[in-house]
Each structure stands twice: as structure tokens, then as C-alpha cells.
Amino acid sequence: MTLNPARRRFEGKVAIVTGAGYGIGRAIALSLGEEGAALALAARSRARLEEVAEAIRAAGGRAEVIVTDVADESSVERMTAGVLQRLGCPDVLINNAGIAGPTKLARDITREEWSKTLATNLTGAFFCAKHVVRPMIERGRGGAIVNVASVAGRIGYPMRTPYAASKWGMIGLNHSLAAELGPMSIRVNCVCPGPVQGERMENVVRARAEASGIALEKARHQATSGIPLGRWVTPEEVAQAVLFLASEADASGITGQAFTVCGGLRMQ
């Protein structure tokens, strides 16, 4: 990673990225760091966050690690207070933290599995928005929230019911927040990735193969079929869509939208 002086859309801005330790969150954090943002990196695992923070610092950027469980409102309150103390008022919130949830038929999913998935993926985004917008509003200079949802929030997604329900809910949360916060010049948008290259998608495909009793390669083929580009998108491609929506320079007139980054995956 090297800083790019030609494109510094977030110079002087403070950004929070949840779930910043790997995958999409890591790519978003590194990209924001390249473009000048001072970063608060939040997740439950300190070790992974420290790796990302070190990469940002090595390139001349600023990053603070704040261990946070977004499903715990008190933890989110502490995170927000930590950001204000260490970096100042946030300009950008990226709600990316999430878990895959179980790969099972709906009738086999336990209450605990359902609740855990919704608590992290949906309630966690609500908690973060609830507490982070308060200092944004008090400062009076607006801001941007980008919620990372999924194409699973726009289609039926068999064997991933809690995950899909959480992402449908996140899109609803996104649009409602946009309507509420627009008068305060806080823009709220959503990015809906399709299958994304990396550790999580490989685990999802493996779990689907096992649950369905099919070969791993067949499950991988099923996850790619219907994508005109013939491949899964990369974390960096998703990150660039997130940065576009977070950027006042590029997206000042855009709010309440859900952008799909999926290689052209056909919506059912």
C-alpha cells in the first residue's frame, strides 16, 4: 500500500470502519487511508485490526484500533467516545461488520442462530448509526454513512434465511435513515455486493456444499453461474463503490440508494 497524492477525497476527514479486520472491511480501510482519512478501525479481533492499522501507518496514514462488538450497544457507545477522544468528530461511518450466519433450511435454524445473525448484521448497524450521528448532528457539517448489505437483501436466498433477512432489513434501515438525516446534510447509502472473492465466500460455498450433499466444485459453480462477468467481485471493487458514495466530492447529491456491485448477477 502506498499513498496516492493524486486522489485525496478524504483528506482531513475522520472515518469509522466496522468489521475492518479482513475482506471488504480491510479493503475499505486501506482505500480510505490511501485517500487521506484518519481511521478508526473497529471489530472484535484486535490482532487483525492491528495488521490493517500497521499497513495504513506504514504508508504514512493514521489509524486507531478500537475493539468493538457492534451487537453490544454499550460497546458501540465506548467506540464512539473513543473516536471523539482520539480523532475528533467522525465525518464518515462505514457499517460493514457482519457474520455469514448458518447455512441451513429455515426449519432447522435455531433461535440462537437467528438472533446472533440479526444482532450483528442489522442491530449492530443500527447501534452504530444511532450513536455516531449524534456528534455529526451537533457539529452541524453533515456527513456520510455507507451500509454494506448484500444482494441477499434483494433476492430470495435459500439456506441463508437469517443472513438474507438481516440484509433486507439493512436496506430498509438505510432508506429510513436517509429520510431522517437528509435535512441535517447526512447522506446515507448502501452497497450490495454479490459473491466476493475471499475467505468468507469460500467458507459459505463449502458450507452450502456440505449442507446440500454436493461436491465443492459444483457448489462453487452454482455461486458463479448467472454472473455475466463470470467471476466473483473483489473486495477492492466493493471498496471503490463505498468510497464513491462516502465522498462528498463525488456523491453529494446521492442519498437513500442501494447500489449493487455483483458482476451483473441477475436478480430473481
Cα torsion angle, 251, 142, 257, 96, sign = positive
Catalytic residue among 163, 168, 232, 259: 163
Look up 157 and say whether it is catalytic: no
Chain centre distance of CA 209:
26
Cα–Cα distance between 116 and 126 in angstroms, integer? 15
Catalytic residues: 163
